[in-house]
Structure 1
Amino acid sequence: MPDEALVSRVAQSTGLTYGEAARVVDDVLAWHRESVEEFVRRRHAHHQTYGKRNEQIFELIAAELRERPFAAPELSPRQLRRMVYG
């Protein structure tokens, strides 16, 4: 269960019920709890689906990591590749 004060604030500011606000907060927190490795694998699969090549994918992911709210270290294309392929 997310922080009750946060859920109450979201409910009050949006007009959602407490239950709806709790689900929204849970979903947002889950999104931001994603680890760097999970994010890299998910985004790699997404970009591959749309026909991008690894060289371009790893550049895109490195740029996306700079915009994410988690503290991700600067990762080289090689480090990104190792997260995906081991």
Structure 2
Amino acid sequence: MITQESARKRAGILRSGPVAPQYLRVLERRTSHDDLIDHLVRSTALQRGEAARVVLDVLAFFDETTEEFVRRRHRELQAGGGVNTEIFERIAAELPYRAVAPPELSLRQLRRIVYG
């Protein structure tokens, strides 16, 4: 098992401070992405630490489960002033475009994910 400290060092990111929770699962399961990080450094204005952070952000985004995605989007849309009727319809419309689309979920199933 990879420790938080060794994972941070291997990824070339922050040298101190806690790792954000959304990255822990990615750091524990993924191997080094040095080739991708090197490519980003060469092809963009990003420094190595910034490129590593971008890679972790993308991996964490795509590592999100359907339930986590539904809860996160509900919070975001609700914080933006959306009402549940519109929020659940929008989430239902977004789900098929995820990297790995889940089976079609009814609006009731989406509400149950959020509210239990």
Shift in Å, 1:4: 1.1
Question: Identity over aligned residues, as a percent?
Answer: 57
TM-score, normalising length: structure 2: 0.64
Deviation above 4 Å: which 4+ runs of structure 1? none
Residue in 1 aligned with 2:56? 26
Shift in Å, 1:84: 0.5
Gaps of 5+ in 2: 1-10, 12-31
1:56 aligns with 2:86: yes
Which structure carries more helix by proportion? 1
Q: CA RMSD in A?
A: 1.7
Gaps of 5+ in 1: none
Could you tell me which amino acid in structure 2 is paired with residue 18 of structure 1?
R
1:78 aligns with 2:105: no
TM-score, normalising length: structure 1: 0.83
Which one scores higher on RCO, CA 8 angstroms, separation ≥ 6? 1
Shift in Å, 1:15: 3.4
